[in-house]
Amino acid sequence: MEVNKDLVLKALSNVQDPDLRRDIVSLNMVKDIKIENKNIFVKVNLTTPACPLKDNIKTECVNEIRKIVGDEYSIQVEMGSTVTSHINEMKEKLLPGVKNTIAVASGKGGVGKSTVAVNLAVALAKDGASVGLIDADIYGPSIPLMLGVKDQPQMVGENPNTAKLIPLESYGVKLMSIGFLIDNDTPVIWRGPMASGAIKQFMTDVLWGDLDYLIFDLPPGTGDIQLTLVQTIPLTGAVIVTTPQDVALIDARKALRMFQRVNVTVLGLIENMSYFIAPDTGKRYEIFGSGGGKKAAEEMGIPFLGDIPINPLIRVGGDTGKPIVIADPNCEESKKIMEIARNMAAQISIRNINAPVIPKIEILNP
Ligand SMILES: Nc1ncnc2c1ncn2[C@@H]1O[C@H](COP(=O)(O)OP(=O)(O)O)[C@@H](O)[C@H]1O
Ligand SMILES: [Mg+2]
């Protein structure tokens, strides 16, 4: 039997992307096939470098090709990625180099929203994605501290009308914070009206370059300020952070309704401070109750992206500017955060692949 590209392609059409529920050939993920002597080389591009199923898909590719070509051939599969893009006219205008924008929201303050936003951003960057993070929490901008950034962003350009800001960078994540524009003495009542203007400026006047994911840490709550912000940003989707207790879950539902009202896809729910494992005894304590987030996500009909236990190291990581996924990448919490980031990336791919193709409307007589 002669082994040719068509035969290899046929074998690969039996490999499914379990998230997207389609085979990798029809998803156009097979980018290259080379057959030289008894060596087969295949390049497969997934929809994100943070694919939770990368290793499984790779193994399946090898297995399916092996089934057809037998043992004589060596098979090499290289996994790459091309991140899918959220197609949206307002986004093309404001953030042309940014493929996806994600809001991290919570109905209630203090649930660990900023901690989660920072660790998700760093996790995606660790997996090889290009990532930006905007601290939009007008009540308590905390991200520069959590990423160990002490500088102020620099401007380029002489003309103040066209000058651009260079984002700061930490652990491979580009960063801007509303704290750079609003100092601590600004009264809270002024911050609301300033917020959407500042966020617009962050979208248009910052040299983000090409980004796969731009994450926004929103102010907690579901009031007018939050509503205005989610309408100001062309959002690919939102994730909601909650703790397992009832009060936080009630507020998480409010956050879900806010996003539904403005037609923003909710990519999923993350439960933080889920439980505590005592380091001396290994005993598990469910301080805020247990399993509430997962159950609530099921009831709300949104994906559950995962849970993160309470660990003092997570707080220390925030206070010392070294997120836990960097400080202690092999601990249980870091592994869980990496998994949550990959689940979120998968939900973004699912959202983009399933998004209806909207024809561009040309306005002839504006
Ligand atoms: N899983 C966790 N384990 C331990 N401490 C946490 C965890 N998540 C957050 N924290 C800590 O709780 C506090 C509040 O978190 P933060 O991310 O600032 O919340 P939010 O942005 O929702 O107000 C911070 O001191 C943070 O370090
Ligand atoms: Mg915060």
Contact 39, 72 (CB under 8 A): no
Q: Over 90: is that where the pLDDT of 226 sits? A: yes
Please report which helix (H) or strand (E) contains residue 315, including its range.
helix 312-319
Maximum distance among all Cα pairs of the chain, rounded to whole angstroms: 77
Contact 303, 297 (CB under 8 A): yes
Task: Provide the pLDDT confidence category of residue 361 given band limits of 50, 70 and 90.
Answer: low
pLDDT, residue 165, reads 93
Task: Provide the pLDDT confidence category of residue 89 given band limits of 50, 70 and 90.
Answer: very high
| CATH class assigned to 5-81 | alpha beta
State pLDDT tens for residues 266-289: 999 999 999 998 889 989 998 888
Nearby residues of 91 by Cβ (< 8 Å), 6 or more positions away: 98, 101, 234, 236
Could you tell me the distance, in angstroms and rounded to a whole number, from the CA of residue 116 to the centre of ligand 1? 8
What whole-number distance in Å separates Cα of residue 79 and Cα of residue 81? 7
Helix crossing, 224-232 with 188-204: angle to 10°? 10
Token pair in block for residue 215: 């994450």
Q: Over 60: is that where the pLDDT of 363 sits? A: no
Whether 273 lines ligand 1, by a CB cut-off of 6 Å, is yes
State pLDDT tens for residues 145-201: 999 999 999 999 888 788 999 999 999 999 999 988 877 777 777 778 888 888 999
Task: Provide the pLDDT confidence category of residue 365 given band limits of 50, 70 and 90.
Answer: low
Please report which helix (H) or strand (E) contains residue 40, including its range.
strand 39-46
Nearest listed ligand to the Cα of residue 138 = 2
Q: What is the mean pLDDT of residues 327-339?
A: 97
Calculate the average pLDDT of the chain. 93
Whether 112 lines ligand 1, by a CB cut-off of 6 Å, is yes
Against a cut of 0.85, is the pTM above it? yes
Please measure the distance between the N-terminal and C-terminal CA atoms of the chain and give it in whole angstroms: 63
Whether 315 lines ligand 1, by a CB cut-off of 6 Å, is yes
Please state the atom number of ligand 1 nearest to the C-alpha of residue 110: 23
pLDDT, residue 162, reads 86
| CATH class assigned to 89-354 | alpha beta
Residue 85 — φ and ψ, nearest 5°? -115, 140
- The domain segmentation of the chain, as residue ranges, is 5-81, 89-354
Would you tell me how many other CB atoms lie within 10 Å of the CB of residue 86?
21
Three-state secondary structure call for residue 88: coil
Could you tell me the distance, in angstroms and rounded to a whole number, from the CA of residue 311 to the centre of ligand 1? 10
Mutational test site, ligand 1, from 113, 218, 226, 315, max ligand atoms within 8 Å of CB: 315
Token pair in block for residue 175: 């960063």
Unique residue bearing structure tokens 């509503």: 227
State pLDDT tens for residues 108-121: 999 999 999 999 99
Please state the atom number of ligand 1 nearest to the C-alpha of residue 146: 27
Whether the CA torsion 52, 56, 62, 68 is positive or negative: it is negative
The neighbouring-strand residues paired with 22 are 17
Which of these, 44, 55, 215, lies nearest to 119 by C-alpha position?
A: 215
Please state the atom number of ligand 1 nearest to the C-alpha of residue 319: 27
Q: What is the mean pLDDT of residues 9-35?
A: 95
pLDDT, residue 359, reads 55
The percentage of the chain sitting over the pLDDT mark of 70, rounded to a whole number, equals 97
State pLDDT tens for residues 29-73: 999 999 999 999 999 999 999 998 999 999 999 999 999 999 999
Q: Over 80: is that where the pLDDT of 360 sits? A: no
Which of these, 335, 346, 9, 325, lies nearest to 170 by C-alpha position?
A: 325
Nearby residues of 1 by Cβ (< 8 Å), 6 or more positions away: none
pLDDT, residue 182, reads 76
pLDDT, residue 192, reads 80
Q: Going by DSSP bridges, is the β-strand pair 98-105/237-242 parallel, antiparallel, or unpaired?
A: parallel
pLDDT, residue 287, reads 83
Query: Which is more confidently placed, 1 or 299?
Result: 299
DSSP state letter for 206 = B
